[in-house]
């Protein structure tokens, strides 16, 4: 979906039945714990490993004709992540952005939902019992929001993985907008991941 444009929700919903709606969500929670006794974890941010080895966010196409996008997304989360998601619901008032691409006619909606750490842990604990676990979704991944002393380990190395669709851009934009991580320290125009993804950008500005 290269060359997509940012649109607001009302405009997206007025596009008509020829358009399909993709919804994904980044679940995250403040995490005050320390890693190895010296690395502050800051936030727990969840992504998932897909069946094809790519990293992405939970979600999929949702039916926008018979219910709201958020209801469709919440049902999808139940199938992909299991009963742990019944402790909350994603709402249109949460962090959200929408991008429309004309060929094919798809609108991609990306949400971020802030949870309490216990809720996030509940999602992780329940995921192995979800309907799609082990088939489409191989497991939940925690995004490392730190850099190791070598300057490579942690988030910079994580960003070199393979990501599906616009997941790489969505992750970075959300980390930046929600001020979960200071990206300037890990992302330079020289990095492989930056060059790789900016060439296939969804222009998520
Ligand atoms: O996390 C994501 N962020 C952005 N785009 C994504 C993400 N995960 C998948 N995708 C893209 C890839 C495909 O173009 C569509 C649909 O993927 P999926 O939900 O796997 O749909 P199917 O069941 O395969 O139709 O979204």
| ipTM of model | 0.92
CATH class of the 5-145 domain in this structure: alpha beta
pTM of the shown model: 0.91
Give 74-95 pLDDT, tens digit per residue.
Answer: 999 999 999 999 999 999 999 9
Report whether residue 164 contacts ligand 1, using a CB cutoff of 6 Å: yes
- Rg, C-alpha atoms of the chain: 17
Give 148-205 pLDDT, tens digit per residue.
Answer: 888 788 999 999 999 999 999 999 999 999 999 988 877 765 565 665 666 554 444 4
Q: Quote the percentage of the chain above a pLDDT of 90.
A: 69
165 CA distance to ligand 1 middle (Å): 6
- Give the burial class of 42: count Cβ atoms within 10 A of its Cβ; 0-12 exposed, 13-18 middle, 19 or more buried: middle
Q: What is the pLDDT of residue 200?
A: 52
62 CA distance to ligand 1 middle (Å): 11
Averaged pLDDT score across all residues of the chain: 89
Which ligand 1 atom is at minimum distance from the Cα of 165? 5
- Give the burial class of 178: count Cβ atoms within 10 A of its Cβ; 0-12 exposed, 13-18 middle, 19 or more buried: middle
Residue located nearest, by CA, to atom 14 of ligand 1: 165
């Amino acid at each position: 979906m290269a060359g997509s444009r940012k649109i607001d929700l009302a405009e997206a919903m007025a596009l008509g039945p020829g358009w399909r709606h993709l919804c994904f969500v980044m679940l995250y929670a403040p995490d005050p714990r320390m890693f190895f006794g010296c690395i502050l974890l800051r936030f727990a941010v969840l992504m998932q490993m897909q069946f094809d080895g790519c990293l992405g966010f939970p979600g999929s196409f949702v039916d926008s004709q018979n219910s709201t996008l958020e209801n469709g997304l919440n049902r999808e989360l139940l199938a992909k992540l299991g009963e742990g998601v019944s402790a909350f619901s994603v709402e249109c008032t949460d962090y959200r952005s929408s991008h429309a691409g004309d060929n094919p006619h798809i609108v991609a909606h990306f949400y971020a939902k802030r949870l309490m750490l216990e809720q996030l842990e509940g999602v992780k604990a329940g995921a192995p019992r979800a309907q799609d676990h082990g088939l489409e979704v191989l497991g939940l991944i925690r995004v490392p929001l730190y850099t190791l002393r070598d300057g490579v380990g942690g988030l910079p190395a994580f960003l070199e993985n393979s990501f599906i669709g616009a997941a790489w851009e969505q992750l970075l934009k959300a980390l930046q907008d929600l001020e979960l991580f200071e990206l300037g320290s890990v992302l330079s125009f020289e990095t492989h991941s930056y060059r790789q993804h900016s060439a296939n950008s969804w222009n998520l500005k």
